[in-house]
Structure 1
Amino acid sequence: MAPKIILISGAARGLGKGLVERYLAQPNHLVIAANRNPGSPASQTLSQLPVAEGSRLVVVKLDATVDTDAADAVKELREKHVIEHLDVVIANAGISSVWPAVKDVRIEDLDAHMRVNVYGVVTLYQATREMLRKAKGEPVFAPMGSSAGFITGQLPITNAAYGPSKAALHWFVVRINAEDEWLNAFALSPGWVQTELGNNGARGLGLEMAPVGLEESVDGMVKMLSRTSKEKHGGKTVAYDGDVSNLK
């Protein structure tokens, strides 16, 4: 039986590494860990993760701030690793580094968040689209969304760089799902997770740490991804605990 092929961006740490670990521990999975510096110590530790029977790891360079990196990564997968299709793409790479009010947000900070959280996802979708289309079953394209990007029911916090970037990302998720009838595109909602990024955000807002444990979030997302379908989840946001809501 052919392995299930899953590409995860931002895979060297945090949620990305957690997802890589979970999928490698399942039999018959080919896990592509895409990150901006495969030579870094964080990336190299991925090769030490336990691997189930029939599964293997491939690491490729993918910097979400470089417009051509996604296409270059796909070229490498095809030419070097002879990978011709993808079953699941999890666009996990993202940043959240400042939390200003709208009156204070700097355009350079807003642009930095848009570049990674939106443009990086769009280039990844464009680069992987044809490989997803060759999947045997219904393929999945799942970027990391966030309740910070909801237009209604906004959280009562200042977040004028990260929040707008996730709102824009949600728009693209809905649009991709509508334009590609063969593709199940939806936004994953991992919760406010105890990763470096999540805890930095929590401390920036006066909290000790984020409220959701990494294992709880990752295990929930993997479970949900094993049961997803376009009919159930396409164009929506799906939380790690299974909660489904419309993107708005």
Structure 2
Amino acid sequence: MSRNKILITGASSGLGEGMAKTYAAQGRALALCARRIERLDELKAELGAQASQIATAALDVTDVDTVPVVFGALRDELGGLDRVIVNAGLGKGAPIGTGKAHANLDTVRTNLVGALAQVEAAMEIFRAQNSGHLVLISSMSAVRGLPKAQAAYSASKAGLSALGEGLQAELAGSPIKVSVILPGYISTDINAGVKTKMMTERDAGVAALIAAIESERNRVVVPRWPWTAIDLALRHLPASITRRMV
């Protein structure tokens, strides 16, 4: 099924920007949201000759009352939405109990509460249309709880994955599809400072992400190597082993 009208949150940088550029090159219609409207306007000017249509809107996903208003306005501007990619995210954090609760609370507000607000808004549109593809950009960190500064981030992404799984159970066999995508390390701002040999270059990571989204499968780990093997290990090996992996 062709999904020509696509809304992407967190589209001003990183994976969101990469997805916007790829879909624009395919001639699709895009609704791009992010807090930095000036960067979205730059992106619109850059991609306008390729995409069939581009609409932009400033959006802070933690302003939960504004999310459905913005989504509704963008739907109206594009004449409907075929796919919503819940991508906006925050990666800051600190070891729990070290006096930096604000960093962990901000991460959970953005990655889980803000994501739920996006899911609510997207699903209201899709239920009215009786069609659509909801894409949740989770993380490999959702597979097993991570320690120290990544604990809250890991928990927020696990919650997002659970939201997707619940909707998949509810909507099985319906015209509304839900995909949970779990990226490993891809070279973006959110992974700045991470030193690992498993880091994937951004363009390759975006290509893998787009392929996963287009498959419309329920759950996809990207890039496939080495993260499929790591996913299996984290899910099935005992904690005595996996704690040394994380």
TM-score, normalised via structure 2 length: 0.80
Alignment pair present for 1:166 and 2:163: no
Partner AA of 1:96 in structure 2: G
Does residue 117 of structure 2 align to residue 126 of structure 1? no
Q: Give 1:147 shift.
A: 1.4
Instruction: Give yes or no for contact 2:62–2:109 (8 Å, CA) kept in 1.
Output: yes
Aligned position for 1:110 = 104
2:209 to 204, 221, 236: 221
Deviation (angstroms), 1:194 = 1.2
* Residue identity matched to 2:107: H
- Say what the alpha-carbon RMSD is for the aligned residues: 2.9
Match of 1:88 among 83, 103, 108: 83
Q: Confirm or deny: 8 A CA contact 1:199 1:210 kept in the other structure.
A: no
CA contact 1:186–1:238 (8 Å) conserved in 2: no
The one-character-per-residue Cα deviations of 1:9-30 (angstroms, maximum 9, x if unpaired) are 0001111111000001003x11
Unaligned runs of at least 5 residues, structure 2: 236-246
1:74 corresponds, among 53, 63, 71, to 71
Matching of residue 140 in structure 1 with residue 123 in structure 2: no
The 8 Å contact of residues 62 and 73 in structure 1, kept in 2 or not, is answered as yes
Amino acid corresponding to residue 153 of structure 2 in structure 1: Y
Q: TM (normalized to structure 1)? A: 0.79
Indicate yes or no: 2:101 matched with 1:101: no
Percent identical pairs in the alignment equals: 23
Alignment CA distance shift 1:209-1:50 (3 Å): farther
Residue 44 (1) aligns with residue 41 (2) = yes
Whether contact under 8 Å (1:198, 1:210) holds in the other structure is: no
Quickly say closer, same or farther: Cα 1:149–1:54, change in 2 above 3 A.
Answer: closer
Q: Which runs of 5+ in 1 are unaligned?
A: none
Distance 1:212 1:54 in 2: 27
Q: Number of paired residues?
A: 228
Distance 1:78 1:21, change over 3 A: closer
**Residues 208 and 44 of structure 1, relative CA distance in 2, 3 Å threshold:** farther
> Which residue in the other structure is 1:175 paired with?
166
